[in-house]
Every structure is written in structure tokens, then in C-alpha cells.
Amino acid sequence: MLFHVRMDVAIPHDLDPAARDELVATEKARALELQRTGVWRHLWRVVGRYSNISVFDVPSNDELHGILSSLPLYPFMTIQVTPLATHPSARPVPTEFRPG
């Protein structure tokens, strides 16, 4: 199943800078791991915000919840999830398609 996920991040300003740097580095490593496995299919930055729009490919709502709650920045995120379905007028997109 494909899911459109928006993640807005709000790390507290009073968090120790070293702890913040470690948290962000750990988040990046986890995101890269999920992208390599094909679960986190697409990741785009929202311009001007500490936010992203992503597409996840997982078998169930529960699995997506488990993945999102495993992210190191999860406690500081507001997340919106929209399940996606194939549109009857959509043309096939090559699997190697990667937006620039």
C-alpha cells in the first residue's frame, strides 16, 4: 500500500545543541536505511519549513505506524497520513523515475 505522509518537525529550541546534532544524524541514518529497503519510496523537502512530503510503500496501516514511531524525531513531529490508490486515468510511471 502507498501512503502520502507529511512530517512537520518542531525540535525544542532549548534542546542541547550536541543532543540535537546527534538526534538529526540518527534520523538521517534511519531515513537512508528505509529508503535503501524501498519502504520510503520518495522524500521531498517542503520549501521554507522543517517539513517533508514522503511516499511510503508498506503492507498495512499498522506497519506504517510502527515505522513512523521508530523515527528518532517522531516525538517532535506532527504527521498527516493519506492512503493512496491508483487513479484510473494515471499513466504508468517507470520504476526508475526519480523527481529532481
- Position 10 scores a pLDDT of 97
Q: Which of 19, 20, 16, 8 is nearest to 68 (CA)?
A: 8
Is 96 among the domain residues?
A: no
- In tens, the pLDDT along 11-67 reads 999 999 999 999 999 999 999 999 999 999 999 999 999 999 999 999 999 999 999
- Is 92 contained in some domain? no
* Residue 93 covered by a domain: no
Number of structural domains in the chain: 1
Instruction: Write out the three cell numbers for 3.
Output: 501512503
Helices vs strands, H then E, count in the chain:
2, 4
Q: Is residue 69 part of a domain?
A: yes
CATH of the domain at 47: 3.30.70.1060
Record the pTM. 0.85
Domain assignment of residue 98, yes or no: no
Which pLDDT band holds residue 99 (cuts at 50, 70, 90)?
A: low
Range of the domain at 18: 2-84
Q: Is residue 100 part of a domain?
A: no
